[in-house]
Amino acid sequence: MKQVNTANTPETTNLPLEGIRVVEMSHMVMGPTCGMILGDLGAEVIKVEPLKGDNTRRLLGAGAGFFRTFNRNKKSIALDLSDADSKDALLKLLGTADIFVENFKPGRMAELCLDYATLRASNPRLIYVSHKGFLSGPYDKRLALDEVVQMMAGLAYMTGPVGRPLRAGSSVNDIMGGMFGAIGVLAALHERASTGKGKEVQSALFENCVLLSAQHMQQYVVTGKPAAPMPERINAWAVYDVFTLADGHQMFIAATGDGQWKALCNILGRQDLLGDVSLKTNNDRVLSREWIIPSLAATLSTRSPEELIVAFEANNVPFANITKPEELFDDPHLKDSGGLVDLELEDGSQTKMPLLPLMLDGVRLGPRRPIASIGQHTREVLESLGYSSDKAEALSRAKASAAA
């Protein structure tokens, strides 16, 4: 069993963003994803929450996993920004920050005098990253959600069958928006090393989703025909489908090249297909999909997944079992490679959490601290700013009283 080293202890040093301080005022997914990525890369991330905590902590249903998924490697301070002392504390904290992460509705930061122009005046090295629904343009005052932009930017149309647009099954644009926010931050940090000046970075849901739809936009340009939704699409490859096997088990199987086609036919004992001169090339087979796919489906319906997995792996035929999210906790690759690690939650319990999908010199970037409880680090952070123990304690008590 191959184990991958994981940077997952408080003592871990030499992470790329060690020594960088991030102040994060964000909620839901987009902004927290940016903060999580920066935290995993070694930055000190201080999440500023309202007195009762980020509302994301209390979401139900599809949002129940948001907070724990996107808020590891962060400290938490709780402040009442309507209180002058607490607002002053936040401004002092921002004076020490390298990066400020926010994802509030348009105009909200200006109302709080926390907009980029205001903060830059006192901290010109600050990199300010805003996560919005839209970049500058006619839509930039609109409120947006992941599902809203999936409908606007063609992704929902491409995902569902004709007449039934469907959002993708995850918060793809929110997560992607946080990623692009983090990419912008890294670029601004690199530039700041030579200029000494920070920069405003903006990332937006709509533009994310347009990028996801760009291949279909260009498909129209190349072919002159509108792209059909994925369930109705004309495949570029002859075999690229979900099949039902002997026990009702579903498996996605692909044969995108001549070698894979030959291997698949030999595994299934379908030499008759190999001998058919009308199926010589992939394009020939694409034009014959109407009868090839039902014929292969009939053969596959008699085969077991266990035997096919062994044969497909040995012969480099792409395949995938149809997996539910909860089944990933038992995925042998994730378990054996170190891609799932224990994360301590704010109540002291633990859960397995997937890591960022990257390695640095063979090391995965893991959690270095538990999920913080609401305001857990308020006193610590305030004292680091020069507040007396008594003053820090008073603000902490006020926080605890208000949140009770």
Span 102-134, pLDDT tens digits: 999 999 999 999 999 999 999 999 999 999 999
Query: How confident is residue 14, by pLDDT bands cut at 50, 70 and 90?
Result: confident
* In the chain, % of residues over pLDDT 90: 89
Burial category of 165 from C-beta neighbours within 10 Å (exposed 0-12, middle 13-18, buried 19 and up): middle
36 neighbors 71 (Cβ within 8 angstroms): yes
Query: How confident is residue 395, by pLDDT bands cut at 50, 70 and 90?
Result: confident
Give the end-to-end CA distance of the chain in Å, rounded to a whole number: 48
Q: Which amino acid is at 142?
A: R
The one-character DSSP state at 126 is -
Q: Which long-range contacts (CB under 8 A, 24 or more apart) does 142-148 make?
A: 143/105, 144/204, 144/205, 144/206, 145/205, 146/29, 146/171, 146/172, 146/173, 146/174, 146/205, 148/205
Q: Where are the domains of the chain?
A: 5-213+341-403, 235-326
Number of H helices, E strands in the chain: 17, 14
CA–CA gap between residue 22 and residue 73 (Å, rounded) = 11
CA–CA gap between residue 79 and residue 83 (Å, rounded) = 8
- The mean pLDDT of 223-240, rounded to a whole number, is 90
Mean per-residue pLDDT of the chain = 93
Query: How confident is residue 13, by pLDDT bands cut at 50, 70 and 90?
Result: low
- Of 325, 322, 357, 352, nearest to 340 by C-alpha is 352
Instruction: Please report the pLDDT score of residue 398 as a whole number.
Output: 62
Comparing 148-152, 212-216, 301-305, 391-395, which segment has the lowest mean pLDDT? 391-395
Instruction: Please report the pLDDT score of residue 232 as a whole number.
Output: 86
Span 52-105, pLDDT tens digits: 999 999 999 999 999 999 999 999 999 999 999 999 999 999 999 999 999 999
299 neighbors 320 (Cβ within 8 angstroms): no
Query: How confident is residue 2, by pLDDT bands cut at 50, 70 and 90?
Result: very low
Q: Which amino acid is at 66?
A: F
CATH number of 235-326: 3.30.1540.10
Q: What is the greatest pairwise CA distance in the chain?
A: 86
Span 199-215, pLDDT tens digits: 999 999 999 999 999 99
Instruction: Please report the pLDDT score of residue 330 as a whole number.
Output: 97
Q: In what order do the strands lie in the sheet with 250-255?
A: 239-244, 250-255, 319-321
Exposure string (b/e) for 297-326, b if CB count within 10 Å is 16 or more? eeebeebebeebeebbeeeebbbeeeeeee
- The mean pLDDT of 261-270, rounded to a whole number, is 97
Query: How confident is residue 10, by pLDDT bands cut at 50, 70 and 90?
Result: very low
- The mean pLDDT of 24-38, rounded to a whole number, is 97
State in words which class domain 5-213+341-403 has.
Answer: alpha beta
Burial category of 389 from C-beta neighbours within 10 Å (exposed 0-12, middle 13-18, buried 19 and up): exposed
Task: Say whether pLDDT at 236 is over 90.
Answer: no
Task: Say whether pLDDT at 319 is over 90.
Answer: yes
At 19, give phi and psi (nearest 5°). Answer: 90, -5
Instruction: Please report the pLDDT score of residue 401 as a whole number.
Output: 56
- The mean pLDDT of 249-259, rounded to a whole number, is 95
Task: Say whether pLDDT at 400 is over 80.
Answer: no
308's CB contacts (< 8 A; 6+ apart) are 245, 251, 267, 300, 319
Task: Say whether pLDDT at 384 is over 90.
Answer: yes
Query: How confident is residue 378, by pLDDT bands cut at 50, 70 and 90?
Result: very high
SS3 call for 53: coil
Instruction: Please report the pLDDT score of residue 55 as a whole number.
Output: 95
Burial category of 49 from C-beta neighbours within 10 Å (exposed 0-12, middle 13-18, buried 19 and up): buried
220 neighbors 227 (Cβ within 8 angstroms): yes
Query: How confident is residue 399, by pLDDT bands cut at 50, 70 and 90?
Result: low
CA–CA gap between residue 129 and residue 108 (Å, rounded) = 14
Query: How confident is residue 297, by pLDDT bands cut at 50, 70 and 90?
Result: very high
Span 352-363, pLDDT tens digits: 999 999 999 999
2 neighbors 337 (Cβ within 8 angstroms): yes
Task: Say whether pLDDT at 394 is over 90.
Answer: no
CA–CA gap between residue 233 and residue 248 (Å, rounded) = 25
Task: Say whether pLDDT at 382 is over 90.
Answer: yes
Instruction: Please report the pLDDT score of residue 393 as a whole number.
Output: 78
CA–CA gap between residue 85 and residue 87 (Å, rounded) = 5
SS3 call for 350: strand
Instruction: Please report the pLDDT score of residue 333 as a whole number.
Output: 96
SS3 call for 270: coil
Exposure string (b/e) for 332-354, b if CB count within 10 Å is 16 or more? eebeebbbbbebeebeeeeeebe
Q: Identify the H or E element spanning 262.
A: helix 258-267
